Amino acid sequence: MKILIMEYHNTGWFALPGGFVKTTENLNAAVKRGLKERTGLDNIYLEQFYTFGDYARFDASVMKGILEAAGFQPESDHWLLDRFLSIAYYALVDYRKVTLNPDPLSDSFNWYTVNELPPLMLDHDKIVQKALETLRLNLNRRLVGMNLLPTKFTMKELRKVHEAILGEPIRRTTFQRKMLSLGILERHEKRYTGKAHKAPYLYSFVDGV
């Protein structure tokens, strides 16, 4: 599993991608707009998971440094130097199908594996940890597979998604028994790829899960 991280111009500072809500714009519309601008993705399920608003995360010198490194000279009362609240969302996508488009303040915009993230500015590491915590608590909800699996998938493919998110292997028989007991899967025909006796069953999520 990888996370999208940006690096600001001439600073060596790494951060999660984000954006601002326009004065007359709905919050969810702003998030979808930002996602499309940076990745080209549209119609992707997004999960709002937490709001970060501690006063301790406010540091005007950080944004001032980012702007100056990009060639701007903001006035002391510029709105970009004010305190911000961050409403965080996550989405699950196949990163191999994403076309990245860095914003004007960034030197780089790349995918990093969860266990090999660069040091992140301000409280962005806490945001990552909260996202992972929330994601792992929701493993059995349909959102886990919405953007990562085809409409019909094998039990092995579903298990691989869980293993990537948890960061550890899962015993095959235990996983299958648990998933079938939850009542969230519908079984279909087998997937034949050559050897009939090894053909796995295909599954899909039950409507409404």
Residue 12: closest CA among 128, 127, 100, 121: 121
Instruction: Answer yes or no: is pLDDT of 145 > 80.
Output: no
Match 């990009």 to its residue by tokens. Answer: 70
Instruction: Answer yes or no: is pLDDT of 143 > 70.
Output: no
Q: What confidence category does residue 209 fall into, taking pLDDT thresholds of 50, 70 and 90?
A: low
**Which structural domain, as residue segments, surrounds residue 153?**
143-205
In sequence order, the 6+-apart residues with CB closer than 8 A to the CB of 52 are 85, 86, 87, 88, 123, 126, 127
Structure tokens at 199: 């053909």
Count of Cβ atoms closer than 10 Å to residue 53 Cβ: 12
Match 């025909």 to its residue by tokens. Answer: 189
Q: What confidence category does residue 146 fall into, taking pLDDT thresholds of 50, 70 and 90?
A: low
Domain count, the chain: 2
Are 15 and 94 in the same domain? yes
In sequence order, the 6+-apart residues with CB closer than 8 A to the CB of 57 are 86, 122, 123
Instruction: Answer yes or no: is pLDDT of 139 > 90.
Output: no
Q: Which residue among 103, 137, 171 closes a domain?
A: 137
pLDDT tens across 97-116, in order?
899 998 888 888 999 999 89
pLDDT tens across 45-102, in order?
888 999 999 999 999 999 999 999 989 999 999 999 999 999 999 988 888 889 999 8
Are 93 and 116 in the same domain? yes
Are 127 and 44 in the same domain? yes
Structure tokens at 130: 């909260």
What is the reported pTM? 0.81
Q: Which residue among 120, 137, 154 closes a domain?
A: 137
CA–CA separation, 87 vs 63, rounded Å?
18
Pairing of strands 86-90, 201-205: unpaired
Q: Which residue among 112, 137, 162 closes a domain?
A: 137
Are 198 and 133 in the same domain? no
